Amino acid sequence: MIKCANFLAGEEDKIPEDGGAMGEMGGAPAQAISDEGDKIPDYALVAADLKAIMDDPEWDDGSLAPVLIRLAWHSSGTYDAQGKTGGSNNCGLGGATMRFGAEKADPENAGLDLAQAKLEGVKQKHGAGLSYADLWILAAYVAIEHTGGPKMEFKPGRVDAADGSKCPHGDGAHNPNKSRLPPADLGPSKDAPKGCPMHHKEQPTIDAVRATFERMGLQDREVVALLCGGHVYGRCHRERTGYAGPWVEEMTIFSNEYAADMVGDKWVEVTHESPDCPHDEVRPAPGKRQYVSIGPGEEEEGGGDGSGSERDGPPKQMMLISDMALLWDPKWRLWLPDYA
């Protein structure tokens, strides 16, 4: 089982008084009554209703859990620890800002309007006292627990922004989409000599991802924990982002598969035109590149435990350049065995 559960929950001893990174990502101070005097919902009943919709045979891989976790993370990942803006409650300015303007149109958030629509029935049932900002975070907590992850204490109290005037978005310094979220791929360094180490070749993406997470106040180990816990879920959709396929084979289960496969499998770069791409399911759109697994490393092949020679061909798994950065960057790779 992956070991980033406490980070995802927001460790109590890491939540500063002023609502820093962990406070924004893990919970906001509880409030008794909303500004409008709306009745505070019974969050146990909200959680039960969320659990009831979690398994959806008409959705990707039969579960809403991955997309709801992504919704909560992208809502939280706009946090700026120094500027005190962004995050799931937008530092008191009003959360759930992804419903508006530039954040709604952010390509990094492609498809999350569908996740929001899936939650609308629960929102309407429990009334105005349930904020979208709280609902999105609680949905992710329920999703993690429902898929075998840890039970985490939910802290309500986030309020919704009334409009998009306070939407947090970036300046393009680290993501050309002017998103505050990390970029998937900024291309190889133009100055990298042929045959240089991968962390030099892919330095533009690595530097941008590190700077993005540093803005949130996260250290290297926390970055590895977050990605290992988040990308064990779900898949990329070629029609939305240009990238294609799941990160892991069991993409609706909380596990250590992401980190274990990153370390243990052989990975090759492919483009849309690559003749050796093992499956069309993991073939990116034209103009995009990603890494795909061609199976376990030699030390893991041929076992009788459901891996290696027992597979019917290479697994249908992919990694973004920003994922592979965890393997290439010496500071991030140091922490990967803790989650593998």
pLDDT tens profile 102-141? 999 999 999 999 999 999 999 999 999 999 999 999 999 9
Q: Is the dihedral of CA 284, 61, 205, 338 positive or negative?
A: negative
- CA count, 13 A, side-chain hemisphere, 24: 29
- Return the structure tokens found at 87: 């995050």
Q: What is the mean pLDDT of the chain?
A: 87
pTM value?
0.87
Higher pLDDT, 57 or 307: 57
State the catalytic residues: 74, 247
Is the pLDDT at 85 greater than 60, yes or no?
yes
Residues whose CB falls within 8 Å of the CB of residue 234, separated by 6 or more in sequence, listed in order: 60, 61, 66, 67, 69, 70, 246, 247, 251
Is the pLDDT at 26 greater than 70, yes or no?
no
pLDDT tens, position by position, 137-146: 999 999 999 9
Lowest mean pLDDT among 19-28, 92-101, 248-257, 288-297: 19-28
| Amino acid making up residue 187 | G
**Residue 312 confidence (pLDDT):** 63
Lowest mean pLDDT among 18-27, 248-257, 298-307: 18-27
**Residue 122 confidence (pLDDT):** 98
**For residue 141, which phi and psi values (nearest 5 degrees)?**
-60, -45
Hey, is 262 helix, strand or coil? helix
With beta carbons less than 8 A apart as the criterion, state whether 60 and 235 touch.
yes
pLDDT tens, position by position, 244-302: 999 999 999 999 999 999 999 999 999 999 998 999 999 999 999 999 999 886 544 44
Mean pLDDT of 151-174: 93
pLDDT tens, position by position, 165-196: 999 988 889 999 999 999 999 999 999 999 99
Is the pLDDT at 1 greater than 80, yes or no?
no
Is the pLDDT at 71 greater than 50, yes or no?
yes
Is the pLDDT at 314 greater than 90, yes or no?
no
The secondary structure of 66-110 as a DSSP string is HHHHHHHHHHHTT-BTTTTB-TTTGGGT-B-GGGSHHHHH-GGGT
Mean pLDDT of 193-211: 97
Is the pLDDT at 200 greater than 90, yes or no?
yes
**Residue 7 confidence (pLDDT):** 31
